[in-house]
Amino acid sequence: MPITTEILKKPESKRGLEGATLFNEHRIDKDILKTMDEDTYEELVASWAYWCLKEGKEKKYEDVFRLGGAGDGGVDVIAYYDIAKRDCDIYQCKHYDHPVNRGDVIAELGKFLYHVYTGEILIPREYFLMSPQGLSGPFNKIYSNPFNLKKEIKDAWDKDIAGKIESKKIIKLESDLEKFIDAFDYKKFKLISPDKLISDVHRRENRHVYFQYFGVRRDDLERIKIDTPVEHQDYETNYIQHLMDAYNDVEGVSDVTPENVEGTDFAHHFEYARDEFWMAESVKKMSEENCPGDTDEFKELENDMMHHVADTHDEHYTDAYEHVKKVTKHATTMPKKENRIISGELSSGELKGVCYQLSNEDKLVWKKK
């Protein structure tokens, strides 16, 4: 089956841990790696290449794709330095219950070389073998030495490779193919250790990948404190305007604006409201950086908060300022959910801040029309 770009897909995160299993603090990373099924391991490798090597500090690649379906030609992940120039690295995943040995991959390496020879697979800068338990001692001596690896592939061709490249066909090592196999640069064959993969996804900026596949470790959760900006930001315009409307709804009050609020009776409330909004912004940032896969726990938290304060929000009040205070006070009574990355850790100020975040999205409006 020809290897074509049509079967390439960007890496997706669908197979990681979920629910309570995310919070098993006592699992060991290497044991988790060993017991993953093959598809989950390939997805992890693709996610690692995408988030750590493309989106991370290295910014090594232009894009990363995972191959799907049969006929991958010994390639699981392709990472492009330059798609237009077809300049790439290739990653091949081998997930076994033991360190990879010669018999596990010798046919795969021969198949890869053949498809490069026929032009169905690009000649990569480097070909990386990925295995959760690394290589066996004897095979490591072969694989890590270009001369030994070429000799092993050539010696194994007739018995272990020729009949395993294409169905019902024997591919003999002769003529131009043999010349290609002799001339190929075997220094391209490299190994990424399981320790490096785990270490890379455990970095703070990649923690969402680590949490998805290895589980949440509370010690790893870091709150990024965002200080309240001195100047009002365009980003917070909506909830500030809703607060101004609430202050001006109090009997005998008018013309309170963001520019003069500090000289009014609402100064302290406004100061606390802004602090709480930015506390919640910190929680949002924590969700973005730490939540696994496509999960957005801050959005889930906002949704829970809407349901929690709905009845209080819909009651009638003497004015909109009273409305704000009642709803935000009730927000502090929202029950914690322990099996979440963020909600079990929230202070009263952060819970109030979620209300102001919702107000900034026009979902909680204090002055009734």
Query: Are 91 and 130 in contact, with CB atoms under 8 Å apart?
Result: yes
Tens digit of pLDDT for each residue in 210-243?
888 887 776 666 667 889 999 999 999 999 999 9
The pLDDT score that the predictor gives to residue 21 is: 61
Give the amino acid at 92.
Answer: Q
The pLDDT score that the predictor gives to residue 1 is: 36
Does the pLDDT value for residue 343 go beyond 50? yes
Mean confidence (pLDDT) of the chain:
87
Query: Taking the CB of residue 350, how many other CB atoms lie within 10 A of it?
Result: 23
The pLDDT score that the predictor gives to residue 68 is: 61
Tell me how far apart the alpha carbons of residues 134 and 157 are, in angstroms, rounded to a whole number.
24
Query: Are 134 and 99 in contact, with CB atoms under 8 Å apart?
Result: yes
Tell me how far apart the alpha carbons of residues 43 and 47 are, in angstroms, rounded to a whole number.
6
**Sign of the torsion formed by the C-alpha atoms of 24, 30, 31 and 32:** positive
What are the extents of the domains in the chain? 5-214, 221-360
Span 297-322, average pLDDT: 94
pLDDT band with cut points at 50, 70 and 90 for residue 4: very low
Query: Are 211 and 286 in contact, with CB atoms under 8 Å apart?
Result: no
Tens digit of pLDDT for each residue in 93-141?
999 999 999 999 999 999 999 999 998 888 999 999 999 999 999 999 9
Does the pLDDT value for residue 26 go beyond 50? yes
Tens digit of pLDDT for each residue in 132-176?
999 999 999 999 999 999 999 999 999 999 999 888 899 999 899
Sequence-distant (≥ 6) Cβ neighbours of residue 80 within 8 angstroms: 61, 62, 63, 64, 65, 86, 87, 88
Query: Are 127 and 89 in contact, with CB atoms under 8 Å apart?
Result: yes
The pLDDT score that the predictor gives to residue 336 is: 82
CA distances from 353 to 283, 319, 334, 348 (A): 10, 21, 13, 8
| Bridge-based pairing state of the strands 77-82 and 87-93 | antiparallel
Burial annotation 238-252 (CB, 10 A radius, 16+ → b, else e) = ebbbbbbbbbbbbee
36-40, 288-292, 347-351: least confidently modelled range? 288-292
Query: Taking the CB of residue 147, how many other CB atoms lie within 10 A of it?
Result: 9
CA distances from 93 to 88, 141, 184 (A): 17, 19, 21
Share of residues in the chain with pLDDT > 70 (%): 87
